């Protein structure tokens, strides 16, 4: 048995693990990141899924990390990271031919909606005015900023939220986003595409407290939506460059089998091949249930263990199809920029709600809610000249589907192609090759239980100071020297990097306190 040692061991080389490692290495700690796969990045990877065509495996657009100070603090631009803005950030491609272009500019968006319906445009303007203070109140948590520094901004946002009356505001905030959108928008012209973006968080339209994910529409107007040049891999590559420059080490194909504890604290980790890495500090930047209930030896017990075991993960996840084409989808009456961001094919809010119910019951939805990213339209390095990448995503797919994904995959692909064909005639003829990336693939290859990239549901009681549980939300655990990070930890999932930064901060503060 080989034994080595390190000041800090980080289990998991996704973007949160790499960000935590960078902050710790910058603070002078000896850091080693252990990644079970043969390459780092987790949900922020871009690969040649189809020969000569590079696709994002999961994250296709970055919004939250560009609200934070992380890229500047870690000097990621100097390490090669370049972001290109997606503007418009979304285009609603309705089957009946109507188009709505959601620009970063609220006024430009209102003008676009008004081309179809002036009253709907006015309703959208009022909705975004309601949403801005909600987003402004939440952003400090996404950034992971020190509370007292952000207190004046949060107080001002809270005053603007409550100006309509405390009970009215509370009713909106606690509502499902299905209810919220029906309350404030007039028709499916805007309800459908706004809901499609909200569903990207893997939250049901009918979930109480889900209103935040529809209010988040204002964040795209405030901060934009961004594509990392070269794909999401650009973020991972820049973090790797920065970590190496700081002396950190990343070891791939190093799957952790056990986190050892002794004397009330962490003693190290053991790999599948029997190697032991001795350390008194571990950050588990993976699914927190996997880390603390499966890998931790002995598993987390007591009330903390029971609460973590009770954390929910539903049967609705995202399922993808990566499509190589010889041209962009040919939308009738398209305009320049229509392929820059998300292209929504969700015609009706009811369709999304019924799809969620079907997926929870282990059925393929019909109709299939779908959206697309065509990143090669703004990044010509992803496909050969004259070719494009089409990232098709269903935000309401069953993790477990009746009959199994192997038997249902072709049906899923055919249904998805039918949806695109109905909006972009000739799409099927443009397809050069495709590869489905279904939840069973994600569970097997990424080792994400249920194929869930957020690890656990982002419900109101599993968000922010309750993620994954109230006791574990500060990234510390009852085991001395053991910390957690990743998409299943506070404040939320997605590409933000804040869980990684906050976990590193907790380690540094605790070590300083111990002297």
Three-class SS state of 125: helix
The pLDDT of residue 154: 57
The alpha carbon of residue 376 and the mean position of all alpha carbons in its chain are separated, in whole angstroms, by 20
H or E, element range at 92: strand 90-93
Q: What is the CA radius of gyration of the chain?
A: 22
pLDDT in tens, 135-150: 888 888 888 765 556 5
Are 340 and 373 in a shared domain?
yes
Which strand (E) or helix (H) includes residue 138? Answer: helix 118-143
Residues 335 and 432 in one domain: yes
Same domain for 235 and 220? no
Q: What is the reported pLDDT for 223? A: 95
Q: Pick from 401, 433, 451: which residue ends a domain?
A: 451
Kindly write down the DSSP assignment for every residue of 218-232, as one continuous string. Answer: HHHHHH-EEEETTST
Q: Do 219 and 253 sit in the same domain of this protein? A: no
Q: What is the CATH number of the domain that holds 31?
A: 3.50.50.60
Domain end residue (candidates: 414, 429, 451): 451
Q: Could you tell me the residue range of the domain that residue 164 belongs to?
A: 105-224
- Residue that terminates a domain, selected from 190, 224, 258: 224
Q: Give 286's DSSP letter.
A: S
pLDDT in tens, 370-384: 999 999 999 999 999
Q: Is residue 146 in some structural domain?
A: yes
Instruction: Give me the pLDDT at residue 152, please.
Output: 62
Residue 65 lies in a domain: no
- Is position 474 within any domain? yes
Indicate whether 8 and 137 sit together in one domain: no
Residue 89 lies in a domain: no
Query: Is there a single domain that holds both residue 447 and residue 508?
Result: no
The owner of tokens 């975004």 is 128
Domain-embedded: residue 95: no
Please tell me the number of Cα atoms within 13 Å of 464 on its side-chain side.
10
d(CA 101, CA 236): 30
> What does pTM read for this prediction?
0.94
Question: Which pLDDT belongs to residue 1?
Answer: 54
Whether residue 461 lies inside any domain: the answer is: yes
How far apart CA 17 and CA 499 sit, in angstroms, is 9
Residue 269: strand pairing partners: 259, 277
The segments of the chain whose pLDDT lies below 70 read: 1-5, 145-169
- Name residues whose C-beta falls within 8 Å of residue 68's C-beta, 6 or more positions apart in sequence: 142, 143, 144, 496, 497, 498, 501
Residues 303 and 429 in one domain: no
Spatial neighbors of 206 by CB under 8 A, at least 6 apart, are: 176, 178, 353, 356, 357
**CA separation for the pair 504, 375 (Å, rounded):** 32
With respect to residue 72, please indicate whether it lies within any of the assigned structural domains: no
- Please tell me whether residues 188 and 292 are part of one structural domain: no
pLDDT for 263 = 87
Number of domains the chain is built from: 3
290 and 405 both lie in a single domain: no
| Contacts (Cβ under 8 Å, ≥6 apart) of 384 | 52, 53
- Identify whether residues 319 and 420 lie together within a single domain: yes
Q: Is residue 12 part of a domain?
A: yes
- One domain for residues 237 and 362: no
Same domain, 320 and 403: yes
Count CB-CB contacts under 10 A for residue 223: 16
Query: Look-up: residue for tokens 């990877």?
Result: 45
């Amino acid at each position: 048995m080989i034994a080595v040692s390190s000041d800090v061991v980080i289990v998991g080389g996704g973007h949160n693990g790499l960000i935590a490692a960078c902050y710790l290495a910058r603070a002078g700690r000896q850091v080693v990141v252990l990644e079970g796969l043969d390459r780092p990045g987790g949900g922020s990877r871009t690969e040649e899924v189809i020969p000569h065509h590079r696709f994002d495996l999961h994250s296709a657009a970055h919004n939250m990390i560009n609200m934070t100070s992380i890229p500047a603090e870690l000097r990621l631009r100097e390490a090669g990271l370049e972001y290109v803005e997606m503007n418009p950030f979304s285009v609603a491609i309705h089957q009946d031919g109507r188009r709505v272009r959601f620009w970063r500019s609220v006024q430009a968006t209102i003008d676009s909606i008004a081309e179809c319906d002036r009253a709907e445009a006015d309703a959208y303007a009022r909705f975004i005015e309601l949403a801005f203070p909600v987003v402004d109140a939440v952003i400090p948590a996404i950034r992971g900023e020190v509370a007292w520094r952000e207190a004046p901004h949060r107080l001002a946002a809270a005053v603007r939220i409550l100006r309509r009356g405390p009970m009215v505001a509370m009713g909106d905030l606690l509502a499902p986003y299905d209810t919220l959108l029906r309350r404030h928008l007039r028709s499916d012209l805007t309800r459908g595409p706004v809901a499609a973006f909200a569903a990207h968080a893997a939250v049901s339209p009918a979930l109480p407290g889900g209103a935040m994910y529809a209010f988040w529409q204002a964040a795209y107007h405030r901060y934009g939506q961004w594509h990392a040049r070269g794909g999401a891999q650009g973020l991972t590559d820049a973090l790797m460059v920065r970590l190496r420059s700081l002396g950190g080490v990343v070891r791939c194909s190093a799957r952790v089998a056990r986190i050892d504890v002794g004397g009330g604290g962490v003693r190290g980790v053991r790999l599948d091949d029997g190697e032991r890495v001795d350390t008194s500090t571990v950050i588990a930047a993976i699914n927190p249930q996997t880390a603390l209930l499966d890998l931790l030896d002995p598993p987390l017990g007591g009330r903390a263990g029971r609460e973590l075991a009770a954390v929910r993960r539903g049967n609705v996840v995202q399922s993808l199809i990566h499509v190589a084409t010889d041209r962009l989808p040919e939308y009738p009456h398209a305009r320049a920029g229509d392929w820059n961001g998300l292209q929504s094919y969700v015609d009706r809010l009811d369709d999304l709600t019924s799809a969620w119910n079907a997926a929870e019951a282990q059925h393929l939805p019909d109709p299939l809610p779908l959206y697309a990213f065509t990143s090669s339209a703004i990044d010509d390095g992803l496909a050969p000249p004259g070719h494009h990448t089409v990232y098709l995503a269903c935000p309401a797919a069953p993790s477990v589907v009746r009959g199994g994904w192997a038997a249902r995959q072709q049906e899923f692909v055919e249904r998805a192609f039918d949806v695109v064909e109905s909006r972009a005639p000739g799409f099927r003829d443009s397809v050069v090759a495709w590869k489905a990336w279904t939840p069973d693939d994600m569970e097997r290859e990424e080792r994400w239980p249920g194929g869930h990239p957020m690890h656990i549901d982002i419900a109101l009681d599993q968000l922010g100071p309750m993620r994954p549980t109230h006791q574990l939300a500060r990234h510390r655990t009852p085991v001395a020297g053991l910390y957690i990070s990743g998409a299943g930890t506070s404040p939320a999932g997605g590409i933000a990097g804040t869980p990684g930064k906050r976990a590193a901060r907790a380690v540094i503060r605790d070590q300083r306190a111990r002297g």
